[in-house]
Amino acid sequence: MNLFRSEEHIDRWLGLRCPGATMPVTTLSALAHAWWGDRLSPQWKPHSRQQNQAILDRLGLAGDFWQLP
């Protein structure tokens, strides 16, 4: 994971390489909270693949890159 200031900065850093996926840091924060926010709960159980895919979908992370196997 890399953090960048702008789309232009991403383009300069990538050069001719293709990015895997990009997102605003606010979306990254929402993803982290949704994915790991309940981890310290005594009732915690691992999320199912369907639950994790629902998190990605709810945050608008769509496309082949975001489809869980």
- Which pLDDT tens digits describe the chain residue by residue (69 residues)? 788 888 899 889 988 888 778 899 999 999 999 999 999 999 999 999 999 999 999 999 999 999 999
pLDDT value, residue 53? 98
Please say whether the beta carbons of 15 and 49 come within 8 A. no
pLDDT value, residue 3? 86
pLDDT value, residue 48? 97
Which pTM was predicted? 0.79
